[in-house]
C-alpha cells in the first residue's frame, strides 16, 4: 500500500472524483442520489469542504482510487468542534487499508482545526461502511428510520460518531 499516495485534490481530479461518486450513485446505497451528477459536482464538493480538507487516493502509476473530505456539520461557530466526513473508495481498492489511511489523514486535519467530534451518516443498507466505522472506533449515535428510498428499497440513515484526541 506504500505506492498509493493520499494527497490534496487538484483541478485535474475533477472527472475521476465525480466518476467515483457516480459509481456509488448507480451501484450502491453509499451515495444517496439516484441519478448521476455532472462534473459541476466537483465544485460543489470543493465548496462544502472545510478549510480545503479534500483528499484523493492516487493509485500507483496514476489514476484515482477514492476521495474523502471533511465538512461542516453546521455552519455556525457553535459547531466548530464537530465535523462530518465523506469518503468513497472504489470496490477494487477497498479492504486494503486505504480507508484507514484516508481516515487517519482526515482525523489529523480535523485535530488541527480543533475538531473534537467526527460524524458520519451512513445508509442502513451499507453494511461495509457501518462495519468500517465500527472498527475505526465510531459508535452509533442516531438513527433516522425509513427516511430514504432507492432502488425500490426504503432505508434508514445511521449517524455514527467518534471523539478524537485534543
- Domain regions of the chain by residue span: 5-118
The CATH number corresponding to 5-118 among 3.20.20.140, 3.90.1150.10, 2.40.128.640, 3.40.630.30 equals 3.40.630.30
Report how far residue 44's alpha carbon sits from residue 54's, in angstroms, rounded to the nearest whole number.
12
**Average pLDDT of span 64-77:** 94
Provide φ and ψ at 61, rounded to 5°.
Answer: 85, 0
Strands 139-150 and 153-163: antiparallel
Q: What is the DSSP letter of 80?
A: T
Length of the chain in terms of residues written: 166
pTM value > 0.75:
yes
Helices 14-27, 41-48: crossing angle, 10 deg rounding = 100
Segment 134-158, tens digit of pLDDT? 999 999 999 999 999 999 999 999 9
What whole-number distance in Å separates Cα of residue 27 and Cα of residue 144?
A: 22
Model confidence at 53, pLDDT cuts 50, 70, 90, reads very high
pLDDT digits (tens, 9 = 90+) for 30-52: 999 999 999 999 999 999 999 99
Amino acid at each position: 500500500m506504500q505506492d498509493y499516495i493520499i494527497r490534496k485534490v487538484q483541478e485535474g481530479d475533477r472527472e475521476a472524483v465525480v466518476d467515483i461518486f457516480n459509481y456509488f450513485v448507480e451501484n450502491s446505497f453509499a451515495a444517496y442520489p439516484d441519478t448521476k451528477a455532472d462534473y459541476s459536482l466537483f465544485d460543489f464538493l470543493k465548496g462544502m469542504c472545510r478549510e480545503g480538507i479534500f483528499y484523493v487516493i492516487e493509485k500507483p502509476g496514476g489514476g484515482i482510487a477514492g476521495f474523502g473530505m471533511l465538512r461542516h456539520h453546521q455552519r455556525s461557530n457553535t459547531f466548530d468542534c464537530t465535523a462530518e466526513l465523506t469518503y468513497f473508495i472504489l470496490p477494487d481498492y477497498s479492504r486494503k487499508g486505504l480507508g484507514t489511511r484516508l481516515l487517519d489523514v482526515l482525523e489529523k486535519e480535523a485535530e488541527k482545526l480543533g475538531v473534537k467530534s467526527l460524524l458520519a451518516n451512513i445508509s442502513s443498507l451499507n453494511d461495509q461502511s457501518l462495519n468500517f466505522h465500527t472498527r475505526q472506533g465510531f459508535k452509533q449515535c442516531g438513527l433516522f428510520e425509513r427516511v430514504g428510498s432507492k432502488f425500490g428499497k426504503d432505508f434508514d440513515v445511521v449517524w455514527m460518531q467518534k471523539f478524537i484526541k485534543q
